[in-house]
Amino acid sequence: MAFSIRKRIDKEWDDKRIESYKSDFNRSFEILKSEIQSIKENGVDYGMWKRDEDFSSRLKNIVNVKERKFRSLLKFDVWNVKEVDMVNGYVSLLYRVFRGIRDLKKGESKFDDTIRNIVGDCDGNDFLEMYKDCFVGEDRLDYCQYVSVRLDKFELSDSRRGYIKELVMYILNGKRDFGRDLRFVDGKYDYDEIGKILFGKRGFECIEKIKNTDIDFKKGRKFYGFERYKNMSRVLMGMEVVFMEGRFRKLISEGIRYLNIYDGLIVSSVDVNIVLEIMNEEVLMDNMNSSIRFVVK
């Protein structure tokens, strides 16, 4: 059976739908303006800035829970804003997780020790070697292009790139049972086959082990039985939080203002170059975090 990740339903943009969209947009915008004004007047409410303690400890704020359309309208004082985003978000974080399993010694990182205890003798070494040229060094190959070549598709269109990204998210965030009867990439591959292409045989096995293990994260909700597959998302988001908060502390020490948008941030256009330098300071070092790179969106 051929598989389409996202079922797209075309709707006619009649007058009623247009008016409803504009009305919802305006209401959301008015709420955002009110919240920003409250912040300016030192009236910050705890509900505007809170952590998702029940899942990943990601920090939510008034911007990253809003529609992306609003971000380009923001300013820091008189300055326009720029978005600095993590390249290949989840995949670069996965590369970092596998580096920790392979290269860190016990006791060097509590987070990585936890993951190593979960996977045991399982690792993602073939993923690390297979995609090394995509995540190590300054001149990197494009991960989606590399995957496209492995799928015997030598040209990478925007739609093909979007499809590969959705495949990555589907395998990382989904449960094997969900895709048991599905076929991917023009019906050529089943769930296990496409997983091994995206992450290598050992990497895919490691991912599946994490998604089928009871994990005690010490805090937040615990997922057992049918819901254990959600632990893979939680591991990657946890890695994201560990990395991003280290960078945020550096930005704060430099007096640079920012708003976090999970695996990216919004900064003033006058600060964007120094922010890129800080966020990418480990890219050329062959260490644990060098797979994680940022660009201006």
In a domain? residue 40: no
In a domain? residue 223: yes
Tens digits of per-residue pLDDT, 23-54? 888 888 888 888 777 777 776 665 667 777 77
Instruction: Say if residues 136 and 286 touch (Cβ distance below 8 Å).
Output: yes
Q: What is the mean pLDDT of the chain?
A: 84
The most confident of the ranges 68-72, 155-159, 181-185, 290-294 is 290-294
Give the lowest-confidence range in 62-76, 176-190, 205-219: 62-76
Q: Which domain holds residue 125?
A: 108-229
CA–CA separation, 144 and 161 (whole Å): 6
Tens digits of per-residue pLDDT, 123-152? 899 999 999 999 998 889 999 989 988 887
Residues of the chain above pLDDT 90, percent: 36
Q: What is the pLDDT of residue 85?
A: 94
In a domain? residue 77: no
In a domain? residue 183: yes
CA–CA separation, 56 and 234 (whole Å): 6
Taken as a whole, the chain contains a residue count of: 297
Q: What are phi and psi of 80, to 5 degrees?
A: -65, 165
Please, is 66 exposed, middle or buried when counting C-beta atoms within 10 Å of its C-beta (0-12, 13-18, 19+)? middle
In a domain? residue 118: yes
Q: What is the pLDDT of residue 115?
A: 87
Long-range contacts, 113-118 (Cβ 8 Å, 24+): 114/215, 114/217, 115/210, 115/235, 118/209, 118/210, 118/213, 118/215
Number of domains present in the structure of the chain: 1
In a domain? residue 189: yes
In a domain? residue 129: yes
In a domain? residue 152: yes
Instruction: Say if residues 122 and 206 touch (Cβ distance below 8 Å).
Output: yes
Tens digits of per-residue pLDDT, 57-103? 787 877 777 777 777 778 888 899 999 999 998 999 999 999 998 88
Q: What is the pLDDT of residue 134?
A: 94
Joined together, the tokens standing for residue 219 give 């805090």
Reply yes or no on whether the pLDDT at 213 is more than 50. Answer: yes
Q: What is the pLDDT of residue 2?
A: 44
SS3 258: strand
Task: Provide the whole-model pTM.
Answer: 0.82
